[in-house]
Amino acid sequence: MKSAPFKKKGRVCAVALFIIVFWGSPLCVSGTERKVDPLGGYKWWKRVGEAAAESALGSFGKMGLRPRKGDLVVMTNAGYAEVDGRSTQAVLDGLASVTGSSRGRHTLVEVHSAPWAPLWCAVYDRSSGWNVYLELDPSRAAAGKETPVPGLFRPAVMERIDSEHVLAHPSSWDLKIKNKVFGGNEFRILTIANAVAAGAPTAAVRAVEFHDHYCPGVASGILMAEYLKTHFPPGEGGYFVHAVKPWCKEDALLVLLNATPGKRAYAVDYPTKEDEAGRLPEAAEAATIVYRRQKDGGGWEGRVLAFSWAETPCPKTGSALMDKLCADLWYLKQMEHPERYVKVLKDFRLPDGVSPRDWAGPGVDPLKMLGLMQTGKSEK
């Protein structure tokens, strides 16, 4: 009979294990006390996403708008943002279930952010140009189930953001950006929403998500990646990329070529003005060196690339951000012709037994190794 207490404890442990596995929420058991964490479960966070979407649709309704699900573009940092150290990934499913947005149609856009950034979402109606912005109030979320889910958000903000309207009112939008009407996410939302509405291809959406906004700088990286796939296809094992003049393009190349520092396939130099002044005239615009293994399996061959910025037909509005938005949309129309903007400065082969990593090490300037620096002017 001495085993009875043991069996009783065993039953309690089994029940506790069942609850942990099937509820998906952390459970603390101390004697007879049990405390379920309301912020840890998938169902709770999915409901948060549903509530956000329902609130957005309600805001549209108050304006007399009845958007079709196929016209809605949802942008959010859910899955990246954390609340009190907890994942918000399930918010994506909640948003999708109510709005009909999807990854496959590029209408559910996961915008990269730091985990400590506030959780936000924006629902854009392409047919009307109106957008609803919602941001979670962390102090209310910390209360968990003590606060009704719809009450977790700060008051919704609704603005018309289609490019035609925004570009026609640059001063007004400069003020709205200054006042952070979308919690500091104004440029992200304006550029991504309009890019998707304009039919941005998958590669562009992927790059923009990672970069967390769309700008001419990341557009140049998308064009460079498209150029490489066609005109300098990868060898065995893919590419090694060495940025000798980095800018936003790096984020696009990382994502679209799957060449990353973690896989020892991406290097970055940050040249000073003096370094750049020491380059030969034919290498003045050198931006990126891309390597691939030769087809015969021998060694490595490389290509030094530059990007030729275009004179876009965009008018100068006096607003740098608005001018960028116009250029963004213009570059989207150029994605099928990357060779117009990507320039080849030099093709070469590495010596036998030498790898791109050898030319990316401390104190080594690859442009000097290629004879593209003025003598005595390069000090890496």
How far is Cα 162 from Cα 169, in angstroms, rounded to an integer? 11
pLDDT of 23? 37
What residues does 306 pair with on adjacent strands?
Answer: 343
Judged against a pLDDT cut of 60, whether residue 32 lies above it is answered with no
Q: For the residues of 275-286, what is the DSSP string, one character each?
A: HHHTB-GGGTT-
pLDDT of 151? 83
Asked if 303 contacts 346 with a C-beta cutoff of 8 angstroms, the reply is: yes
Residue written as token pair 């291809």: 201
* Helix/strand/coil for 305: strand
> What is the distance between the terminal CA atoms of the chain, rounded to a whole angstrom?
79
Q: How many CB atoms lie within 10 A of CB 350?
A: 19
Report which of 14, 90, 24, 18 is spatially closest to residue 52, judged by C-alpha positions.
Answer: 90
pLDDT level of residue 1 (50, 70, 90 thresholds): very low
- Which CATH code fits 216-369? 3.30.1330.20
* Helix/strand/coil for 162: coil
pLDDT of 295? 76
Which of the pair, 153 or 144, is modelled with greater confidence?
A: 153
How far is Cα 310 from Cα 184, in angstroms, rounded to an integer? 29
Q: What is the mean pLDDT of the chain?
A: 88
How far is Cα 125 from Cα 71, in angstroms, rounded to an integer? 6
Asked if 232 contacts 292 with a C-beta cutoff of 8 angstroms, the reply is: yes
Domain boundaries, the chain: 42-199, 216-369
Judged against a pLDDT cut of 60, whether residue 194 lies above it is answered with yes
Task: Tell me, yes or no, if the two domains 42-199 and 216-369 fold the same way.
Answer: yes
Judged against a pLDDT cut of 90, whether residue 238 lies above it is answered with yes
Asked if 80 contacts 115 with a C-beta cutoff of 8 angstroms, the reply is: yes
What residues does 302 pair with on adjacent strands?
Answer: 291, 348
Q: 333: Cβ–Cβ under 8 A, 6 or more apart, which residues?
A: none
pLDDT of 9? 45
pLDDT of 201? 96
pLDDT of 19? 36
Predicted TM-score of the model (pTM): 0.86
Mean pLDDT of 41-52: 93
* Helix/strand/coil for 146: helix
Judged against a pLDDT cut of 60, whether residue 10 lies above it is answered with no
pLDDT of 7? 42
pLDDT level of residue 316 (50, 70, 90 thresholds): confident
- Which CATH code fits 42-199? 3.30.1330.20
Tokens of 158: 């609704």
259 burial via Cβ count (<10 Å: 0-12, 13-18, 19+): buried
Locate all alpha helices (DSSP H) within the chain, ordered by sequence.
Answer: 4-23, 42-62, 91-99, 138-141, 163-168, 170-178, 186-197, 202-211, 216-231, 249-257, 273-277, 320-332, 366-369
pLDDT of 70? 84
Judged against a pLDDT cut of 80, whether residue 337 lies above it is answered with yes
Tokens of 221: 């990286």
pLDDT of 143? 65
How far is Cα 267 from Cα 145, in angstroms, rounded to an integer? 47
Mean pLDDT of 50-56: 96
pLDDT of 18? 34
pLDDT of 162? 98
Query: Within 13 Å of residue 326, how many CA atoms lie on the same side as its CB?
Result: 21
Asked if 87 contacts 37 with a C-beta cutoff of 8 angstroms, the reply is: no
Phi and psi at residue 305, in whole multiples of 5°? Answer: -120, 150
Tokens of 215: 């700008």
Which of the pair, 222 or 29, is modelled with greater confidence?
A: 222
How far is Cα 315 from Cα 327, in angstroms, rounded to an integer? 10
Report which of 109, 156, 158 is spatially closest to residue 134, judged by C-alpha positions.
Answer: 156
